[in-house]
Amino acid sequence: MNAPAKIQETKAEQSLNAQFDAIFAQTTQENANQRKQAWDAFKAKGIPHRRVEEWHYTDLRTKMNDAFALASKTAPKAEALKGAGDLKTHRIAIVNGRYAPDLSSDQDVAGLSIAQTNGFLAAQLGTDDAMAHLNQALVQGGISIKIDANAKIELPIEIVRYTDGSQVSSYAGTAVEIGSGAKALIIESFEGDADAAYQSNALTEIKVGDKADVHWLKLQVESAKAQHIETLSMELGAETNFQHFIYNEGASLSRAQLFLEFKGEGTHAGLRGTSLLKDNQHADITLFVKHAVPGCESREYYRSVVDDKARAVFQGKIIVEQAAQKTDGQMMIKTLLLSDTAEINAKPELEIFADDVQCAHGSTTGDIDEDLLFYLMARGIPEAQARKILVLAFLSEAIEEFEEEQCVELLEAMTRSWLHADDMVSE
């Protein structure tokens, strides 16, 4: 209330100071400027806290007790990386923020080029977020992925992001460029040593040309003690179809912040996802969808199941600029609270400056429908199992939107495994 007192630096911020000094000393001349600028931008804001509107429900300042040391280069065993499981893919492995060609598959694929980078992203980000700035200040490495115009990549491109070690942190910067008319499915997984406490901060820029067809599946299966922050900035060309899906299961604290901007007319974007939370997990999905040109369509559908003392946060903002007439934006957030100590905070926002638009958002929060439960139990299904059937059905509705059968199967298997993990005896 009083004149803003000088905010004391937290332990995490002090650790970050030392880490930056160390990494800055080793930075080459050509990148020094970018690193320093990002650091200054981060320092101006500090670690986000609840007084920062965008972070209101995820008070990182209190949740981030320390900033772990920057992870060094390691060589984990190939078996440690789970990725998309048995699916046949083009695998790209990123370990501790750095490209790991040894763990990646042969990259000789027509229309696809992968290159190791120092992780600095050239383009101006559409975001002025402290944690995105921090990524660029401490970035350890990254890759660039290019898909040529009109290339149709048959197999899914699999990006496995693995944090190796405990009490470490990794920062990766990834640039993805998808040419006009290209078609691709990307499956990206975030994982690490089971039971290890680590922090991963990923920053990814995706640029999609015109008339492309891109499907992106993110599997967030970090270790149960991990802290996961991902900033994704997307720019879409004209008449493109872009689908993004988040499967949110891991990490004690996770935040996915998605910034999407329509750059060309007649484009369709779908942002979807499911969050499966238990214990003391805290999962935050924050979207900024900016309609800057006319005639685009966006869909944001997210479903969460929250058990135990877990907490789900959803913030979605659809911005329709004055030029973006004929915009069609629909957002729907559904949450099931399975325990009396679970919590959901939702903030679906509309910010509209154009008049000829159709925008809507909806949100529902509640427990499993008693009538449905009764229906199943009346047919001899035990309550515990009936509940699981209903939760699975609730999540499947979102999963089934996926066009690729292989992704639907993968997601359903993961969902089932999460649901059955504890006490389910048989199908």
Partner 1 sequence: MAAVQETIDQVKAIDVDQYKYGFVTDIESELAPKGLNEDIVAYISAKKDEPEWMLNWRLEAFRRWKTMEEPTWARVDYPKIDFEDLHYYAAPKKREGPKSLDEVDPEILETYKKLGIPLSEQEILAGVAPENRVAVDAVFDSVSVATTFKEELAKAGVIFCPISEAIREHPELVQKYLGSVVPVSDNFYATLNSAVFSDGSFVYIPPGVRCPMELSTYFRINEPNTGQFERTLIIADKGSYVSYLEGCTAPQRDENQLHAAVVELVALEDAQIKYSTVQNWYPGDSEGKGGIYNFVTKRGDCREKNSKISWTQVETGSAITWKYPSCILRGDNSQGEFYSIAISNGHQQIDSGTKMIHLGKNTASRIISKGISAGVSQNTYRGQVSAHRKASNARNFTQCDSLLIGDKCGAHTVPYIESKNSSAVFEHEATTSKISDDQMFYCQARGLDEEEAVALIVNGFVRDVIQQLPMEFAVEAQKLISISLEGSVG
Region near partner 1 per CB under 8 A, out of 142-150, 291-299, 356-364, 406-414: 356-364
CA dist., res. 79 & res. 202, Å (int) = 23
As measured in angstroms, the least distance from the Cβ of 249 to partner 1 is 20
Task: Figure out which of the listed residues 131, 134, 289, 342 binds partner 1, where binding follows CB under 8 A.
Answer: 342
- Which DSSP helix (H) or strand (E) runs through 93? strand 90-95
* Nearer Cβ to partner 1 (211/317): 317
d(CA 141, CA 124): 18
Residue 8: how many other CB atoms lie within 10 Å: 7
**Would you count residue 360 as binding partner 1 (CB under 8 A)?**
yes
Selected range binding partner 1 among 5-13, 239-247, 294-302, 363-371, rule: CB under 8 A: 363-371
- Whether residue 217 contacts residue 190, with contact meaning beta carbons closer than 8 Å, is answered with no
Shortest CB 346 distance to partner 1, Å: 4
Residues numbered 300-339 forming contacts with partner 1, rule: CB under 8 A: 322, 325, 335, 337-339
Minimum Å gap between C-beta 317 and partner 1 is 9
Residue with tokens 């383009």: 123
By C-alpha distance, which of 185, 169, 90 is closest to 137?
169
Query: Would you tell me the crossing angle of helices 11-25 and 130-138 to the nearest 10 degrees?
Result: 40
Count of residues touching partner 1 (by CB under 8 A): 38
Rule CB under 8 A: say whether 346 interacts with partner 1: yes
Using the minimum distance from each CB to partner 1, give the nearer residue, 167 or 322.
Answer: 322
Shortest CB 345 distance to partner 1, Å: 5
SS3 content of the chain, % helix, strand, coil (to 5): 20, 40, 40
Residue 223: both structure tokens together:
């270790």
Per CB under 8 A, 371 contacts partner 1 = no
- Which of 341, 375, 393, 424 binds partner 1 (CB under 8 A)? It is 341
Among 345, 385, 396, 406, binds partner 1 (CB under 8 A): 345
Contacts of 29 (CB under 8 A, 6+ apart): none
- Binding footprint of partner 1 on the chain (CB under 8 A): 1-3, 53, 322, 325, 335, 337-367
